[in-house]
Structure 1
C-alpha cells in the first residue's frame, strides 16, 4: 500500500486526464508516469488501486466515483469497483440538490459529491490452474455488514476473500485506527472470509476467517500505525455459508420481537393482578 501525490498515471493510451473538468486543484507541472511500465518491469504483481474515476452520462453530466481498480501483473486493468456505501458529508451531501444549504455543513468548498456504484464487482485472481475471486470494500464499507454479506449469500456468485483499502490519515493521533480494524474483524467472522487490509496511516493487516489478526506491519496494533512496510502472509480461504450470510439479521430482529412480546405479556399480567376483585 502506498500513495502517489501529484502524479497522473495513464491506464489508457491517448487519454489526457487534464481534459476532465474535475473541481480539484491539480499541479499542471506534475510528472505523468506510465503505470504499465511500473507494473510490467517493477512490481510484477497484481495490484488494487484506490482512485477517483469520472464518467459522462448521455446528457453530458459528469459523475464522480470513489473507485478501486484491479490491475494484473502486466499492467492491464481487469475490473473496476465503484463504492456503493458512501459516507454522508464526507463523500456526498444528503439531499444536496433539494436543500442547497446542506453544503454549509461540509468540510470542503464546491461540489464534491460522488455517485454510488451499482455493481457487485468480483475481481478474478488467477493462481496456478485455479482462479480465485475477491471483492473490495472501500474505506468504511467494511462497517456495513449487509454489503459484505451480499457477496457471500447463497444466491450470489461468491468470493474467496475480501480486500479493504482505506485512508485513515484523517484520524491521525486517535484510536480510530484500532476501532476500524476491530470493526473489520466482524466482517471476517460473519462471512467466514479473510480480509486483507491496506490502510494509509494504518492499520494494515490480514484477518483470517475467525477474525484473528494474523499479520501486521509491526509487532502490535499501536506500532503498526504510521509505519512504512509491507504486510506479507498467507490469506486463508474460507468456504461455505454462515447462518448470518444465509439469513441476515434474523437473530436481532427475533430478539426484539421476543422482548416486545414479553413486554406485552408482562403488562397484561401486571394489569390483570392489579384489578381489584
Structure 2
C-alpha cells in the first residue's frame, strides 16, 4: 500500500492477522498469508481460498515445509483436452481403484481435464521413478488427448507444435480460437485471422470447398506457411489445415447449447493441431 501510495483499510489489516505461534506461509500473489498450526499432535494448514493464491502457496510454501520432516512428496499434473472427465475416469478406473503410491486424482478444469499423479518417497528421484510407469500407462490409454504437464498451457503447446507461421479463418468461435493463442504468441507465429463472411468465401458451396477456400484465403492474405479454417454445420465442426503441399480435414461434434460451440471448440481445435503436427 505504501508503494502504491494508498491507505490501508481496517479490512486489509484483518487480512494480515495470523494465529499466535503459527508458522506463517507467505502469499506471493495476494494479500492474506497462510498459516500452519500445530495442536494436540495434529497440523492444520490455513490458506486463502482463491486458487490463484492457494495453489502456489501450497506448492511453494506448504509442501516444502512438510517435506522437510516427512521425506519428499512430488506431483506431476498431466493435462488433457478434447475428452471429458467422465471418459477419463472410465478409461483409468482400474488404475484409480488400485492406487496406493503414487495416487491418481482426476481434476476438472475449464474445458480440459487434469490428472495429478503424486508419489511420496525419501527424495524427488525416487518419487519420479514411482510416477513414471503410471504416467506411461495413462498416456498409453488417453495419450491422444495429452498436451503437456504442470504449468504448460494448451495454447503454449499448440504454438510450439505448429511448424511455421499460420493464420486462421474462423466461422465458429468469433475470434476466440485466435485471441487465446495470440496471448501466448511470443514469436509472432500467428499472423492474423478473418471471420467467416460471404465477402471472403461463397456460402452456397459445400462445406469442404468452403473450408479449403477459407484456409487458402488467410494463408495468402497473411503470407503464412499454414492456413487454418474453422466452419460448422449444425453440431458438426470442421477443421481444415492448408500447408504448402497438402490439405487436411478433421471433424468433431460440438453441441450449440449454451454457446458451448464457441467456448469449447478452441481446445478441441488445439489438441487436433498438436496431434496433426506431432
TM-score range, shorter chain: under 0.3
TM-score by length of 1: 0.23
Higher percent of residues as helix = 2
